[in-house]
Chain A
Amino acid sequence: MNISRRQMLVLLPAAAVAWKSVLAGTPEDAPNYSMSDHWWGMLIDIPKCIGCGNCVRACAAENDVPDGYFRTWVERYHVSDENMTNPEVISPDGGKEGFPVAQEDDRKYFFVPKMCNHCVDSPCTQVCPVGATFVAPDGVVLIDPKYCLGCAYCVQACPYGCRYIHPRKEVADKCTLCYHRIVKGLTTACCEACPTGARQLVDLKNPKDPIHEFLKTHSVQVLKPQMATGAKAFYNGLDGSVR
């Protein structure tokens, strides 16, 4: 194989970059996380969700979420042809221990995992009076528990109901997209625990992320697009009845 000097000049730096990512090794030792290189979101593939509740349990374990409160939860929809705007929705204990067995009937069933949508124009950060919640430079909506007063404006402002006041800490709390994990190169606890791949952490700034191909080839929707929140939890196969 003959490689010209020009080709070599292109190939060598490319190989160096590839080798660097190989040397990065175990994700635990990745202190070189650069916020400006990422723009995080989540892909939720509804046809793949089996409602096992693994994500809810994993989230609670990873983030010490108190019982009865949820950073992520799963809803089961039961929708009839005639009354699509009024679906029957259940989420027993957030779907943490799964769902009761459903019997076949003439209506359709499906599961919808929900979580913080990590909106680009998030209503929750706009209403915070003290700057305790913010969109980080990598697109993750976070809460500074030392700055939060617990006024709960953000809890009311979130159109998706993703925030709560932590019963012990008495500050606002919600999904951090497992920020402590993704900076180390790990995926979120819910994605790690999902047995069917119904949840995928996506990095919209990474040109190699399969999300770009997925968004191009699938009918993907966000929740409540009319709110213009710039939600980054992308739902594949989202039914029109989902609220």
Chain B
Amino acid sequence: MSVFKDAGHLFRFAGLFVLAFVVFLVVRHFVVPKSFGQYGHYRGAAIGEIAARPVKFAGHEACESCHTDVVDVKKAGKHAHVNCEACHGPQAQHADDPTGVKPPLPDTAVLCARCHTASAAKPKGFPQVVPEDHSTGLPCNTCHKPHNPGMDAGGAK
């Protein structure tokens, strides 16, 4: 008994620690998001939030489901593996509302030159021209069909 005779102040001190720990647990319960630690040391719900961001490029499958005529033209030529939105830009809005949102036609003089302007830095097998010499600045679709551009492959206009 003599051991605990003057120990009252220690119990009060220990009680304070226990109280602080309980407060810590309560605060932690409200502050830490529910999904924290669901998959690891991060907020699991963040994955769903990131996945819910809006899509701007509809993807070529969406285009091809309506524009079957272009698919047929394209698959015969050298642009068979160039996706629609590589040239036409992001078209998710058009895919969602085909009549309301009409994509503008690209200017072929600018568009084609982005890939096909001759440069020593490009891979040697890639078809390249010097636009000024090749067409004196005329838009490429004066002679070529952009969806099947090869002149010898039925692509000439």
A residues with CB within 8 A of B: 26-28, 33, 35, 47-54, 58, 61-63, 76, 78, 98-99, 101-105, 109-111, 131-137, 142, 144, 146-147, 176, 179-181, 183-184, 186-187, 189, 192-197
Contact = CB atoms under 8 A, between A and B. Distances in A.
Contacts of B117: 98, 101
Contacts of A147: 42-43, 46
27 contacts: A26-B62, A26-B65, A27-B59, A28-B62, A33-B51, A48-B123, A49-B123, A50-B115, A51-B121, A51-B122, A61-B56, A101-B117, A110-B121, A144-B43, A147-B43, A179-B50, A180-B50, A180-B54, A180-B55, A181-B57, A189-B57, A192-B59, A192-B85, A193-B85, A194-B83, A195-B82, A197-B81
A12 B87 CA distance: 43
Interface of B: 36, 39-43, 46-47, 49-57, 59-62, 65, 81-83, 85-87, 89-90, 114-115, 117-123, 126
Contact of A101 (B42, B46, B47, B119): B119
A136 B57 contact: no
Contacts of B65: 26
Contact of B46 (A144, A184, A194): A144
A42 B117 CA distance: 27
Contact of A134 (B42, B54, B55): B42
A54 B53 CA distance: 21
A183 B48 CA distance: 10
Pairs of residues from A and B, 3 with the lowest C-beta to C-beta distance, nearest first: A144-B46, A109-B121, A134-B42
Given A54-B86, A62-B56, A132-B42, 15 more contacts: A50-B115, A61-B57, A62-B57, A102-B120, A109-B120, A111-B121, A131-B42, A135-B40, A144-B49, A144-B50, A180-B50, A181-B55, A192-B57, A192-B85, A195-B115
A180 B51 contact: yes
Most-contacted residue by chain A among B39, B86, B121 (CB, 10 A): B121
B86 A102 contact: no
Contact of A144 (B42, B114, B118): B42
A142 B47 contact: yes
